[in-house]
Amino acid sequence: MRKTWFITGTSSGFGRQLTEQLLARGDRVFATLRKPAALDDLKASYPEHLRTAVLDVTDAAAVRSVVGEAFTAMGRIDVVANNAAYGLFGAGEEVSDEQIRLQLDTNLLGSIQVIRAALPHLRAQGSGRILQVSSEGGQIAYPNFSLYHATKWGIEGYVESVAQEVAPFGIEFTIAEPGPAKTGFRTGLVRAEPMEVYAPTPAGDVRRAVTSGSFVLPGDPVKMARAMIESIERSPAPRRLVMGSSSFVAIRAALMRRLGELEAQEEVARSTDAD
């Protein structure tokens, strides 16, 4: 069954891949982006199935307006793919106040506002799926990406709560967690001014790996986008969708380590209950 999608951040990366694949299979897409010309080729090929709008997700009023426009124009939206985001590259001490604010405003608050804007419309139609594009970085963390991880761990916590709140209305969530892939993410990084003191630390190691190109990107963005689309057909919705073998290994190891740490604290945890 063909579906209608609302997708943010479609000029490149996973947003672009999702849009291309959905249009090719006959779905309808309302795509938002900051550079409207980036989808001109797809608009020419799929004039009846693709609509676009300029949107900066840091503008909450614009988010509400464009989401409302999309539901009105399309009649119904089956899937909201919340994808707009970028990476802030720098140790926690290196990034500037302005860089921190924009990272949070885009990745975390922007994603929250898209969800908040969509929920009344999804409730009114009695069903819908929200595909929140997060990252393996929503469950693990690399040095030199602390603020990026803060947004991804944050949006995953938000989704975990809201998913319980809106389940009675037939609204489901899936958190997509792709690992490193050749999506252009690296070229879109915003970089902090490096401090020499971090050069011999793990933050410096990651900085050199990314700068030199030796940071391995094993994921295939085409396959990952396909897996996201296929997840929409699964019922009930999978809460998380991990993509990439390296991500599976890293997330599993992190969860096992945290579980071991938790179990080692059982006696302390139980001893702190009120008498």
Query: Active-site residue 152, yes or no?
Result: yes
Q: If we measure between CA atoms, which residue out of 62, 5, 16, 10 comes closest to residue 33?
A: 10
Q: If we measure between CA atoms, which residue out of 125, 147, 122 comes closest to residue 137?
A: 147
Count CA within 13 A, CB hemisphere, residue 46.
19
Query: Active-site residue 148, yes or no?
Result: yes
Query: Active-site residue 245, yes or no?
Result: no
Catalytic residue among 148, 198, 231, 247: 148
Catalytic residue among 11, 111, 152, 231: 152
d(CA 12, CA 38): 8
- SS3 category, 42: helix
ω before 120 within 30° of 0 (cis)?
Answer: no
ω before 143 within 30° of 0 (cis)?
Answer: no
Catalytic residue among 111, 134, 135, 231: 134
What is the set of active-site residues?
134, 148, 152
